Amino acid sequence: MTASSIRSQLEECFAVIFPDLTAEEISTATMISVEAWDSLGTLTLVSVVEEMFDFQFEINDLPELVSFELIAQYLEIRHAKAA
């Protein structure tokens, strides 16, 4: 799985949870910039991402997942380690 495919799949997850966001807004989305993105939104997003990528996040890592970019980097690192 390449970095670009990880990001495009992540964009799909975001589009499911935040249907009002455009593709451009998704790539720059953060918890602060997206009003609908609160802590419960993060949990929902996490469960969708886990289902999409077939793995589980560490609970202690959740506080770090506050933007699209950070989540994407997290997934790329995890994928690289798994490979």
Partner 1 sequence: MDSDSQHIVAVPEQIAAESASPKSEPDSKKRVRFRELVIALLLVFLWDWLVYRGGFAGAAAFILSALALLTCGQMHREKAPGVWIVLSMLVLLCCKIVWLGNWAQVTAAMILLSAYCYSRTGQTPYVFEVLESISLILHSGAEALHVHVSAIKNQDAVVSRPKVLTVLMPCVACFVFGLIFVLANPNLQEFLSEQFQSFFEFLRILFRDFSPLEVVGWVAVFWYAMATLRPMVKIARSDARESSGATESGQSDLYAAARNTLVVLTLLFVVYLVFEFKTLWFREFPKGFHYSGYAHEGAAWLTVALGLSTVCLSLIFRANMQRDPRIRKLKRLAIAWSIENLILAAAVYNRLHIYVDFNGMTRMRIVGLFGMLTVVVGFVLVLYKIDRQRSFMWLVRRQLWAVAFAVFFFVLLPIDMFVVKYNVSQIMAGKAAPAVQISVQEISDDGLPFLLPLLDSPNKRIRDGVIAFLAKRDAELKFNLSVETDYGWPTTQFARRWADQELEAKRLHWITLDPSSSKVQQRWKAFQQYVYQWY
**Segment contacting partner 1 (CB under 8 A): 5-13, 19-27, 34-42, 74-82?**
34-42
E-strand spans in 12-64? none
| Residue 73 interacts with partner 1 (CB under 8 A): yes or no | no
Helices in 18-38 by DSSP H: which ranges?
23-27
Counting contacts by CB under 8 A, is residue 65 touching partner 1? yes
**Sequence letter at residue 55:** F
Closer to partner 1 by Cβ: residue 2 or 60:
60
Convert 62-79 to b/e letters by CB count within 10 Å (16 or more is b). Answer: eeebbbbeebbbbbbebb
Binding status of residue 39 toward partner 1 by CB under 8 A? yes
Which of 15, 52, 66, 70 is close enough to bind partner 1 by CB under 8 A? 66
